[in-house]
């Protein structure tokens, strides 16, 4: 089996980015592209067929929901919304960090959105945004803190997973939520509850 160079590039990032130390901060385009390719890779392994569309299948099943306008966001002032539905633990926040972030959209790649429920034991992270560290937390239950510039990876604490990140799309000035990275606390499937 020959190794697809495009796949390697998708895994490790473009050659010029690979040289820097910012591997863990991928831009939105790279990670959507990557999720598409990696998903296709799993299929290739199963069906040994090629040429599957590089469509991010993981993202496509989620509702596309208008959540706000880019021009109305102020740095370090989170806005709340619900996603992917309005059921339990759908509380989410969008914030303009003023600092480039993994998955960030907008001209400064600094607008990100996350679920509000701690991925340890379901503590509420509402109102815990820390502008100095661009973090959510500490969680009132067991003190986990999450880095919003790095896909919600935890800084310190007990959470089992990164904080689920809401994937965003910008259309003109409108911001849409279009998918999620990571399982929301309390649910066994993001879309089934």
89 near another protein, judged by CB under 8 A: yes
69 near another protein, judged by CB under 8 A: no
38 C-beta neighbours (distance < 10 Å), count: 14
Q: Which of 29, 72, 100, 156 binds another protein (CB under 8 A)?
A: 156
64 C-beta neighbours (distance < 10 Å), count: 12
Beta carbon nearer to another protein, 25 or 73: 25
Catalytic (active site) residue 120: yes
Q: Which of 63, 80, 142, 174 binds another protein (CB under 8 A)?
A: 142
The closest alpha carbon to 32, from 118, 151, 140, belongs to: 151
11 near another protein, judged by CB under 8 A: yes
Task: Assess contact for 46 and 80: CB atoms under 8 A.
Answer: no
Catalytic residue among 47, 120, 126, 151: 120
Catalytic (active site) residue 47: no
* Contacting range for another protein; rule: CB under 8 A; set: 75-83, 98-106, 107-115, 180-188: 180-188
29 C-beta neighbours (distance < 10 Å), count: 10
Q: Which of 28, 96, 120, 150 binds another protein (CB under 8 A)?
A: 120
How far lies 59's CA from each of 6, 34, 151, 180, in Å?
21, 12, 16, 7
Q: Which of 99, 157, 170, 176 binds another protein (CB under 8 A)?
A: 157
Least gap, CB of 162 to another protein (angstroms): 6
Distance between CA 156 and CA 185 in Å, rounded? 18
How far lies 115's CA from each of 22, 30, 65, 136, 182, in Å?
24, 22, 15, 10, 10
183 near another protein, judged by CB under 8 A: yes
List the end-to-end C-alpha distance of the chain, in Å, as a whole number.
40
Q: Which active-site residues does the annotation give? A: 120, 142
Task: Give the interface with another protein as residue ranges (CB under 8 A).
Answer: 7, 10-11, 34-35, 38-39, 41-42, 45, 58, 87-89, 119-123, 138, 141-143, 145, 154, 156-162, 164-165, 180-183, 185-193
């Amino acid at each position: 089996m020959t190794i697809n160079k495009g796949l390697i590039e998708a895994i490790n990032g473009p050659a010029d980015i690979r040289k820097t130390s910012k591997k863990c901060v991928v831009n939105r385009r790279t990670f959507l592209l990557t999720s598409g390719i990696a998903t296709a890779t799993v299929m290739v392994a199963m069906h040994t067929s090629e040429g599957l569309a590089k469509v991010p299948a993981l993202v496509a099943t989620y509702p596309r929901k208008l959540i706000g306008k880019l021009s109305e966001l102020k740095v370090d002032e989170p806005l709340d919304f619900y996603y992917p539905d309005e059921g339990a633990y759908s509380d989410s926040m969008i914030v303009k960090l003023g600092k480039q972030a993994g998955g960030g959209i907008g001209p400064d790649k600094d607008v990100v959105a996350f679920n509000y429920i701690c991925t340890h034991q379901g503590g509420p992270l509402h109102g815990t945004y820390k502008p100095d560290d661009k973090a959510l937390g500490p969680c009132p239950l067991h003190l986990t803190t999450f880095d919003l510039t790095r896909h919600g990876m935890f800084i310190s604490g007990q959470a089992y997973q990164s904080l689920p990140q809401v994937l965003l799309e910008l259309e003109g000035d409108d911001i849409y939520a279009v998918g999620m990275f990571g399982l929301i606390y309390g649910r066994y499937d993001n879309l089934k509850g």
